[in-house]
Amino acid sequence: MPGRILQRTAVLLLSLATLLSLCGAVQSARAADLSTQYEWKPVRIGAGGFVTGLVIHPLDPEVRYCRTDVGNAYRWDTALKEWMPMVVSHRDATGKPPAGAAGTGVPASVAAAPSKIGVESIAVDPRNKNVVLIAFPAKFSSSDKSRTTPVLGSVFRSNDGGRSFVQSDLNVKMVPNGSWRHKGECMGIDPANPQTVYYGSRQNGLWKSTDGGMRWKQLTTGGAPAATANVPGVRFDRVPGQSTSTVYAIVEGTGVLKSTDAGDTWTDVGAKSGLEGKVGNSTVDQDGNLFVVRGGSTKIWRMTRAGEWKELSPHFGSSGNNANGLAVDPTNARRIFAIGAGSCISRSLDGGDTWVCLGNTLTFANTFGWLPQKVNGSSKAWRSNGGILFDTKGRLWIMQGNEGILTATPASGDPETAKEPLQWTIDSKGIEEFVAHDVAFIPGTGGRMITAVEDGTAFLIRNPDNFDTAQATLQKQLISNATSVAICPNAPNVLVVTSADIHHTGSGKDYSGISLDGGETWASFPTPPAAARAGTIAISRREGWGDGQDHLVWYPLGNRPPHWSHDGGKTWQVGAGFPLKANGAFDQNISGYWNGSLKQRALIADPHKADRFFLYTIWGGASRLYRSDDGGRNWTPLPDSGLPHGGHHAQFAANPFVANDIWFCDGWESGGESGLWHSIDGATFTKVPGVERAINVAVGKGKDGAGADKGAVYIYGKLAGDSNWGIFRTLDAGGTWDRVAYYPAGQLDIPTRMAASPDTFGLLAIGLSGNSFVYGKPVPSAAAAPLQPMGDGAGAESYPAIAPTLKDVTFLSADRPHKMDIYLPDKAVTANTKLPAVVVIHGGGWSGGKKIWGFPVEFAKRAVPAGYAVFCPDYQLNEFAEKNGKKVSTKKGGPQNIYDCLDAISWVRENAATYGVDPDRISVAGDSAGGQLAMLAAYGCDAPVLSEGRLYPKVSARVRCVVNFYGVANFETFPAWAGWTFLKSQSDPDEVKAALLKKYSPVTYLTAASPPTLIVHGRKDSGVTWKQSEELAGRLKALGVRYEFITLEHATRHAFNFDTDEYDLTAITLRFLAEHSQAGAQAPAARQGRGAAL
């Protein structure tokens, strides 16, 4: 069920409302602030975007910071071993951080409104590991300039390692996403005097602070760079015996300026080099040598302390990539690594005199499932990068596009070559920098999402916490920009996406397509509309048609009219009703209102009426709403719709619970009116009073009770009379609004799209302009009962009691006491169908538990009403006897227990016709010890060593999928519990025990053809460690086996209940079973075969 939700109490100030009404200023009421009752987290996709800079502290390489071009800056958290965002605001309306926040983040001056960020530079105090400075702008919307003072660009100082910042007095234009973003740091702290800080601006010359970065003065005399110069680099040479360091300013068009008197005077030392003012990345080694990349070439120039220049020529193979940066080994100045623009690597062991190419592109281990494994030399591996660094431990670091941060440790003796290159590892956990264009919850899936992003097409988010993400298989080179996704309202397994190369090369190549299995696999549209490039897509609800017949409407970017398809995207036609030019474009230019940089949802399908679509556009200098009632063939303008003019980022949201209930906001930088509009007839809209700004709008499931069938409406924006931005919710069509967040997850980034779950009240997802996605849900009530095991009457969700249809059925030999209970659906559910079946194996430490207790019964309560036949067998348990007042083992349950479980599955298959079961659609489930047995049966069903004592060895025990709650996956890494049932004696030789541990570990039998697996485990469980499930998920992922891994963060003990405040486990389990056991679904390949993984 959805998590427990705190009740809202709203007090309406009736007298005030009456007064406002009499004054003609009726506005909606602000009710409760529920922000403390919500939990917000990042959606774990991993990396994305472009990490443009990395700074590693010279005293401790575990203190490191990175920056991105359009997203955040991050600090490395050594305890969590992941990156944590720093440009965040952890404050409520009182200015205080919420409980548990690690610092307040950036100051209120930056948090005046959502803003486009990106970080231009980072600097650390070489003497103090807690001091870090970051430079970035806060670009508020032009619609808010009258209300806020934009931060063109400033330096912010932190004394607590990046957890809290104060703003300096600097305010100059910064360009974090400019062409110089990846050419090193333009800010630096003097290692001889950390109070002295220099900042090189992109357009305003060189600046200096003498109080640690708080007060700044522009340097314009003494030979300093011009007041309008671009200074992309500031470097220091800490000369022994000098009170100040030698400082170098790397200046575009000039080259290199040098100062030895704390910036009072400067000398042009670059004139004698071959740089010719074309500068790039730079560094200074331990001997005082300055290295500067010559921009636009493969050359690097080196200058000694004596002022002697020499040209270096790294060898980047035949790729022709220009030099982009270099790293000097801090323990050996003659050992240098250089990197080219596409991440090609070159190495010198003689100080730069000679070079060896180590490959044109990188080879690295993939720690995020969506990233393709890179092969050295592949054109698909070309990446922009921000240079290369050494740390004091001898590790190399690279920051680059999409993968984020990579690290490698060169082997002793430097054996690497182009054929055997460096092996890199992605170290980007916590970095989330995709630019989000769209997001939607897939109904009936327990919270799965489909998203559209720049540089990566569509992503299926199976689990937002566990990096369980799959990229749409429509392209592999990561150069496409997805702009829109849509889901069929009454067939949610049907998804569509529009995507094209509109930014990377501008080729316009199309990567749009359709999925018929909930986003797991995709097919491209074979003949996309001519000249169509990305845009918005919508899909009608089905009405008598099926796969291959879906009705779609595609509204491309630019000046192109909407196109329609009634064959699932195979063919397309132009919609009628718009004046067009001879080339098929609109007869007037509206591209300013619809281009690839905008995040619109200007086209939607009516979720209640098939073939009805709505389109918002600008025509004749005014807004116009169009409607089609024939699947996009013909469009009719709806006069006097009441919608505003100028919605650059305009967005619709249709209520899936109420017909003709449509919401509209004019979005970010509206250019005209600002606010929220509502229609109850699908034709005319009225402005909602009291809503001052609305960037996003979404409609989700209503609150349980009287309003459950009305839906809940959410906006990201501002209410009249409240200066604080945030996310608000109304349950009464805009009458009152509750605040559910200030800045979600602390993110100040401009939101691009918002989605609300149609299945779970309160579950939201927000897409951001450079920080990927965050999601939020109500936190459990403090008064809620703790998690309890299923069936004990405490805390379990209330489902009707269920009794076996057939009890104690013999499935083994007659002399065995172990029987099976069978639960069958009502005949009305099963008419003219063959049932999918689930064999459910109870837990109990292989020594206790019964088929009539706990997990099997709770499973049956949920699965039988959904149309499943459930079979719950007992099996051989450990047996004990009293001896001298002690309980001693008289019989081990294993290996007979696994024989019994395999025979239970075979028996169900053998007797399928008797119980109306489809013999090809049998699955298995279990908890704890039952989870281990269920997995062992599922993965090892064809293994002869597990069939030696079976009753039905010739009847297949293969299953469609396996559901595992808290099961042991590998006794070799968790041997403590194996002795309970599978080891004959703890005194046996180690080699005997080791063989048995391996034999009875489910992971031993995993192959690429193993069945899909649902894993549920509590991270803090004190029984079976969560690491068991983490290891299992990793092995399944490596083999390409389909799986879902649900981690319960708050479950503190061995709990097998479906009722948790963290996930709707009932919905997830039933959706997982339906996906893999539905008629026509692909069954796992035979184990001895070599079929492709699911």
pLDDT in tens, 344-355: 899 999 999 999
> How far is Cα 856 from Cα 719, in angstroms, rounded to an integer?
50
pLDDT in tens, 400-447: 988 899 999 999 999 999 888 999 999 999 999 999 999 999 999 989
pLDDT of 832 reads 57
Per-residue b/e over 978-996, b at no fewer than 16 CB within 10 Å?
bbbbbbeeeeeeeeebeeb
Give Cβ neighbours of residue 783 (< 8 Å, ≥ 6 apart): none
pLDDT of 880 reads 74
In sequence order, what are the beta bridge partners of 835?
Answer: 917
pLDDT of 100 reads 47
- Greatest CA span in the chain, whole angstroms? 102
pLDDT of 631 reads 98
pLDDT greater than 60 at residue 793: no
- Position of tokens 């509209």? 664
Q: How confident is residue 15, by pLDDT bands cut at 50, 70 and 90? A: very low
Give Cβ neighbours of residue 660 (< 8 Å, ≥ 6 apart): 608, 679, 680, 681, 682
812 in the Ramachandran plot: left (φ > 0), alpha (ψ -120 to 50) or beta? beta
pLDDT of 25 reads 38
Provide φ and ψ at 88, rounded to 5°.
-135, 165
pLDDT of 526 reads 93
pLDDT in tens, 250-277: 999 999 999 999 999 999 999 889 999 8
Instruction: Residue 149: name the closest of 118, 110, 119 by CA.
Output: 110
pLDDT in tens, 165-202: 999 999 999 999 888 899 999 999 999 999 999 999 99
> In this structure, what token pair is assigned to residue 212?
């640690």
Mean per-residue pLDDT, 818-846: 84
> In this structure, what token pair is assigned to residue 404?
């984020």
Mean per-residue pLDDT, 816-832: 78
> In this structure, what token pair is assigned to residue 515?
């999925």
pLDDT greater than 90 at residue 625: yes
pLDDT in tens, 373-391: 554 445 455 678 899 999 9
> How far is Cα 217 from Cα 207, in angstroms, rounded to an integer?
6
Provide φ and ψ at 494, rounded to 5°.
-95, 115
pLDDT in tens, 1041-1079: 889 999 888 765 554 567 676 788 888 899 899 888 865
> Which helix (H) or strand (E) covers residue 900, if one does?
helix 896-910
- Position of tokens 């906006």? 715
Cα torsion for 1039, 1044, 1047, 1048, to the nearest 10°? -160
- Name which of 57-71, 281-295, 785-799 the model is least confident about: 785-799
> How far is Cα 691 from Cα 696, in angstroms, rounded to an integer?
12
1075 in the Ramachandran plot: left (φ > 0), alpha (ψ -120 to 50) or beta? alpha
Residue 401 DSSP label:
B
Q: Are 836 and 823 in contact (CB under 8 A)?
A: no
pLDDT of 1094 reads 21
DSSP assignment of 850-863, as one string?
A: -TTSSHHHHHHHHH
Q: Is the peptide bond before 895 cis (omega within 30 degrees of 0)?
A: yes
Q: How confident is residue 1093, by pLDDT bands cut at 50, 70 and 90? A: very low
pLDDT greater than 90 at residue 688: yes
> In this structure, what token pair is assigned to residue 252?
């575009």
pLDDT in tens, 848-869: 888 887 889 999 999 999 999 9
> How far is Cα 756 from Cα 887, in angstroms, rounded to an integer?
55
- Position of tokens 């109990």? 844
> Which helix (H) or strand (E) covers residue 115, if one does?
strand 115-116
- CA atoms lying within 13 Å on the CB side of residue 735: 8
Mean per-residue pLDDT, 5-12: 27
Q: How confident is residue 19, by pLDDT bands cut at 50, 70 and 90? A: very low
- Name which of 613-627, 764-778, 1002-1016 the model is least confident about: 613-627
pLDDT of 1 reads 29
Task: Name the 3-class secondary structure at 573.
Answer: strand
Q: How confident is residue 141, by pLDDT bands cut at 50, 70 and 90? A: low
pLDDT greater than 70 at residue 284: yes
Q: End-to-end CA distance of the chain, in Å? A: 29
- Position of tokens 């339906």? 1074
> In this structure, what token pair is assigned to residue 74?
């991050």
pLDDT greater than 90 at residue 613: yes
pLDDT of 24 reads 35
pLDDT of 28 reads 54
> How far is Cα 710 from Cα 755, in angstroms, rounded to an integer?
17
> In this structure, what token pair is assigned to residue 1079?
């008629």
pLDDT in tens, 893-952: 889 999 999 999 999 999 999 999 999 999 999 999 999 999 999 999 999 999 888 999
pLDDT in tens, 873-898: 999 998 877 777 666 667 888 899 99
In sequence order, what are the beta bridge partners of 605?
Answer: 613
Q: Tell me the pLDDT of the chain averaged across its residues.
A: 86
pLDDT in tens, 461-484: 999 998 889 999 887 655 788 999
Instruction: Residue 156: name the closest of 743, 696, 627, 748 by CA.
Output: 748
pLDDT greater than 80 at residue 394: yes
Instruction: Residue 29: name the closest of 592, 960, 690, 990 by CA.
Output: 690
pLDDT of 884 reads 72
- Name which of 229-233, 455-459, 467-471, 982-986 the model is least confident about: 982-986
> How far is Cα 1094 from Cα 1089, in angstroms, rounded to an integer?
14
Provide φ and ψ at 476, rounded to 5°.
-120, 0
- Name which of 51-60, 719-728, 757-766, 778-787 the model is least confident about: 778-787
Q: Are 124 and 65 in contact (CB under 8 A)?
A: yes
> Sign of the C-alpha dihedral, residues 635, 639, 642, 647?
positive
Instruction: Give the residue ranges of DSSP H helices in 911-1025.
Output: 929-939, 990-999
Strand order in the sheet with 300-303: 279-284, 290-294, 300-303, 309-312
The amino acid sitting at 950 is R
Instruction: Residue 404: name the closest of 354, 343, 463 by CA.
Output: 343
In 992-1056, which ranges are E strands?
1013-1018, 1043-1048
Alpha-carbon distances of 483 from 370, 503, 598, 771, 907, rounded to whole Å: 18, 12, 9, 16, 51
DSSP assignment of 73-104, as one string?
A: EEEEETTTTEEEE-SBB---TTSPPPTT-SS-
Q: Are 971 and 1000 in contact (CB under 8 A)?
A: yes
pLDDT greater than 70 at residue 1086: no
Bigger pLDDT: 78 vs 908: 908
Q: Are 602 and 556 in contact (CB under 8 A)?
A: no
pLDDT of 593 reads 60
Per-residue b/e over 307-332, b at no fewer than 16 CB within 10 Å?
eebeebbbbbbebebbbbbbbbbeee
Domains defined along the chain, listed by start: 45-133+159-426 (2.130.10.10), 442-583+608-615 (2.130.10.10), 806-1077 (3.40.50.1820)
pLDDT of 1058 reads 72
Q: How confident is residue 785, by pLDDT bands cut at 50, 70 and 90? A: very low
DSSP assignment of 297-333, as one string?
A: SS-EEEE-TT--EEEE----TTS-PPEEEEEEETTEE
How many CB atoms lie under 10 A from the CB of residue 833?
Answer: 12
> How far is Cα 480 from Cα 505, in angstroms, rounded to an integer?
9
pLDDT greater than 90 at residue 161: yes
pTM exceeds 0.85: no
> Sign of the C-alpha dihedral, residues 912, 916, 920, 923?
negative
Instruction: Residue 1036: name the closest of 905, 938, 914, 933 by CA.
Output: 938
pLDDT greater than 70 at residue 1036: yes
In 480-605, which ranges are E strands?
481-487, 495-500, 513-515, 523-524, 536-539, 552-555, 563-565, 573-574, 603-605
